[in-house]
Structure 1
């Protein structure tokens, strides 16, 4: 059993007196977030068993009491689904503040130029620290891009230079282990490193990584995906290699695509590689998707591909503003991700939503282009949908994992809640985050993790990463 195993999960947990946001719409409005001013929720064996308005039925209370369960009276605090990040790089948690004066590729040189020298042990503790950091900010599920076995090489005119040697398979597997040990639900995104070795080597390495993750507890390891690398791969058939692996292993694919404002024509030309390889469909997601054309958006939407939007990191790296409302209007599924801790700097989902709202409204001059209800949906159920895990997480629907946050609008006090759901998005911060639960089990309280590895994770990255930097020369 992992250190985060459910050793103290009550069989039943009854949450009462909640401003309950379920993300379960009551009608056909896709932006209905299912709000109850005074709600309750019953958790059984880590799953949502029932929700309702007002006082829980006497039979429910009696059943919890008879089972020796727990009653959690939140006293008017918000109870909402744990946030879902549809695009994350958890191994970067100890590398914040690097490359601040750089756009994407210069920042990568600084940040990934450091991880290029990490050992499997280094990457384990860095990933564990990042996963616990997500949990402490109310993010209970993440699509996690692992640092590839083939280390970063500088980009010149939009093309990768060099062919760095491969690290051992353990370098990947320890990143998946860290997510599991943190108790974070995750989709494990694996690079195929298609320029290293023979085609059979590429296939065998990927299969070994897939096998490792699929052997884990499926309640935490929710799925496996490909870290799409066509954007910077020199192989003209890289998309075909990825699509073949998608079909063979039954995995999804998310590609960093059309992100940087550099070499835009070259980037745009590579969309055809995915299109012509037959990648477009619900299992294909484009991360960032900023430097698009109307034709590219139309083809991606028509093919059924999704899009992951990282508003905070897009601004931090001066990448631009994605045309998210237009994509949604064309039928494209969209989710929000927090991206790197090294390029959002604080893993704050409320900040991420507000940056996204502000960026879209500033671009369109229309406040209706991104309303708080829609941003909340994109950072919970929408993110889960494009990750292919919405049947298990993303809303407080009966039968799903009981992953939720308790958020107190009175500590600190934000004043009257004129529109509670909008206040939840626009006025809350991590200071209001009281508790985080995964599967009905408390994992963080007041920003302090209950995981027994948390203290060591902090100590290790504070000692080991500066020592690494001293060996290689301090990163920029």
Structure 2
């Protein structure tokens, strides 16, 4: 089946240029789930179906390069806390989850992302080893280990939601022998790679060096990267607490040989010039979470400086439990405001740049930009339809800038994955949506009542 989209204010975000690729009267042909042609004016082709968007924006689905979808039912917690206290509040609850609790929570989060225009996510799964509070810069690593299904059901939920995702898997290197650690990780990777490859775009490591008590944790992760051909994203230098301990662990990744294109650092706020220089020299990238960083009082990453030095950067929405609303437009605007307030220079973060970072830039650092992140021929037809007249924002003096600065989820009229409507602007088309909502509303309060969480 083919779909011809017409009458569009088309924003393509093409690769290889800083131009946003704006077409005032654009059209796009989708064939078998992929973009077959893009043009302006009168279409030169036809489709089995036609979608006339009548002057609405058509833009790439957002890419969240750093997400924790299982947290969707845990919003509004730990509001008076920074990172570790907030984690105690939220993950103290998931410590009591079983595999099916985790499945429905992740499905709820994945559908929420789709409903807000996010079509691809790097998803940090909740580890098989349950949460432990941080003490002196690390965790004891003695928490109970949950079954493999605790992880695999999270990947299943992303697939069942119809969200494209990179599956980030924790190695939990303190649980079991070295051989058992690798065998457990291999099983998780195999499950992800056995899912629909059009949705499960890859497997990755949830880097845990930041909180691991093992001095050789980075070596374990690098060995797994090479053995299994996976990427790695580590939460790193995020919190304004225990900065000396955090910075000292950078050398563990560097000395283990992790600093290459397959290595990403999530947050990367409490850096030094030397750490940034070594990261750029090694070819590693970073994922920036503006709304989360503000909510948790973590600080402001030096993103303009990192970009100027040649680092690749993507933007993520992070936890629904620390952005509270999965709104990519809010996330972009918060990023613009934070950087401009910090630098006192409006050119330090322009709307066109932040849009690129939340679409193609995110896809680039994840290594999936050959498939998603922009509206280009051959890529998956993942796009949003956004109407600037409902609610009306007035004349579009600079359309792309208005798209970033003035749109909200209220303007969202449709979300398409592979050319198929997955959300109509008011409700999900997924038949599991109502059940996911009911399950989360029933199960989470019951778990909290039994165990005294959350707070």
Q: TM-score, normalised by structure 2?
A: 0.99
Alignment partner of 1:56 is 2:36: no
The match for 1:320 among 299, 303, 328 is 299
Q: How does 1:302-381 map to 2 (within 5 A)?
A: 302-381=281-360
Alignment partner of 1:171 is 2:150: yes
Q: Distance in 2 between matches of 1:204 and 1:309?
A: 32
Q: Distance in 1 between matches of 2:58 and 2:150?
A: 37
Q: Match of 1:418?
A: 397
Q: Distance in 2 between matches of 1:474 and 1:298?
A: 42
| 3-state DSSP of counterpart to 1:448 | coil
Q: How does 1:374-453 map to 2 (within 5 A)?
A: 374-453=353-432
Runs (4 or more) in structure 1 with deviation over 4 Å come to none
Q: Would you say the 8 A contact 1:443–1:451 is kept in 2?
A: yes
**Cα offset for 1:475?**
1.2
Alignment partner of 1:113 is 2:92: yes
**Cα offset for 1:156?**
1.8
Q: Deviations over 1:344-382 (max 9, x none)?
A: 000000000000000000000000000000000000000
Q: Deviations over 1:50-75 (max 9, x none)?
A: 00011101xx12xx2xxxx1100000
Q: Distance in 1 between matches of 2:447 and 2:219?
A: 37
Alignment partner of 1:205 is 2:188: no
The match for 1:459 among 430, 438, 446 is 438
For these two proteins, the number of residue pairs brought into alignment is 455
Alignment partner of 1:17 is 2:4: no
Q: Deviations over 1:116-135 (max 9, x none)?
A: 00010100000000000000
Q: Distance in 2 between matches of 1:422 and 1:198?
A: 53
Q: Match of 1:250?
A: 229
**Cα offset for 1:157?**
2.8
Q: Match of 1:183?
A: 162
Stretches of structure 1 that go unaligned for 5 or more consecutive residues are 1-10
Q: Match of 1:35?
A: 22
Q: TM-score, normalised by structure 1?
A: 0.95
Q: Distance in 2 between matches of 1:136 and 1:361?
A: 29
Q: How does 1:252-267 map to 2 (within 5 A)?
A: 252-267=231-246
CA RMSD of superposed structures (Å): 0.7
Q: Distance in 1 between matches of 2:299 and 2:243?
A: 12
Q: Would you say the 8 A contact 1:98–1:110 is kept in 2?
A: yes
Stretches of structure 2 that go unaligned for 5 or more consecutive residues are none
Q: Distance in 2 between matches of 1:106 and 1:235?
A: 23
Q: Would you say the 8 A contact 1:17–1:73 is kept in 2?
A: yes
| 3-state DSSP of counterpart to 1:84 | strand
Q: Deviations over 1:416-467 (max 9, x none)?
A: 0010000000000000000000000000002300000000000000011001
Q: Distance in 1 between matches of 2:136 and 2:23?
A: 53
**Cα offset for 1:158?**
1.9
Q: Deviations over 1:257-291 (max 9, x none)?
A: 00000110110010000000000010000000000
| 3-state DSSP of counterpart to 2:144 | coil
Q: Match of 2:82?
A: 103
